[in-house]
């Protein structure tokens, strides 16, 4: 391979390796392979298309191992980002990195963002907007007049 040439891929079972111009090897894992690693003996998760082996970290995780076990064998990106992990946590995660999700499988975990706005179409009549407040005001005024009449 010539220096600074484009990346080449070498198949290796279900995994693929890519060597770039810096000669670092990136292992690619298929989604089906990651999904198989969802037990106590082997726990893998995906965060931002990167595959992490968190098996040895289960007992050390500050949020408890259940948090990682719930995401085992799948995409934990949303959960990881929602918690707002510190820079130290992100650096620690990089030590658990074992590869990346195969590019052909990335679309399988891409989720359509959910809308946080809920629109409720409710038909209201004029009495709920005007009559109830008007009656409430009339009752309060009547009670005030009775109170003032008893004082005099």
| Of 24, 38, 46, the residue nearest 100 (C-alpha) | 46
pLDDT values of the chain reduced to their tens digit, one per residue, 152 residues = 433 333 333 344 455 555 544 456 889 999 999 889 888 888 899 998 999 999 888 888 888 888 888 888 888 888 888 888 888 888 888 899 999 999 988 888 866 555 555 555 666 666 677 888 889 999 999 999 999 988 86
Q: Dump pLDDT digits (tens) for 99-134.
A: 999 998 888 886 655 555 555 566 666 667 788 888
User: Which burial class, exposed, middle or buried, applies to 102 when counting CB atoms under 10 A from its CB (0-12, 13-18, 19+)?
Assistant: buried
- Determine phi and psi for 4, rounding to 5 degrees: 60, 25
pLDDT given for residue 9 in this prediction: 39
pTM above 0.85, yes or no: no
């Amino acid at each position: 391979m010539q220096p600074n040439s484009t990346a080449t891929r070498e198949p290796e079972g279900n995994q693929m390796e890519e060597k770039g111009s810096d000669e670092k090897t990136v292992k690619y894992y298929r989604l089906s392979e990651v999904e198989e690693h969802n037990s106590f003996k082997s726990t893998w998760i995906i965060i931002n298309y990167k595959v992490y082996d968190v098996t040895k970290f289960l007992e050390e995780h500050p949020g408890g191992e259940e948090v990682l076990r719930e995401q085992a064998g799948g995409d934990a990106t949303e959960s990881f980002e929602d918690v707002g992990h510190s820079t130290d946590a992100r650096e620690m995660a990089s030590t658990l990195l074992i590869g990346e999700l195969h590019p052909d499988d990335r679309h399988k975990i891409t989720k359509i963002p959910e809308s946080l706005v809920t629109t409720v179409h409710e038909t209201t009549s004029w009495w709920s907007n005007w009559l109830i407040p008007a009656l409430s005001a009339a009752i309060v005024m009547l009670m005030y007049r009775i109170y003032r009449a008893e004082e005099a």
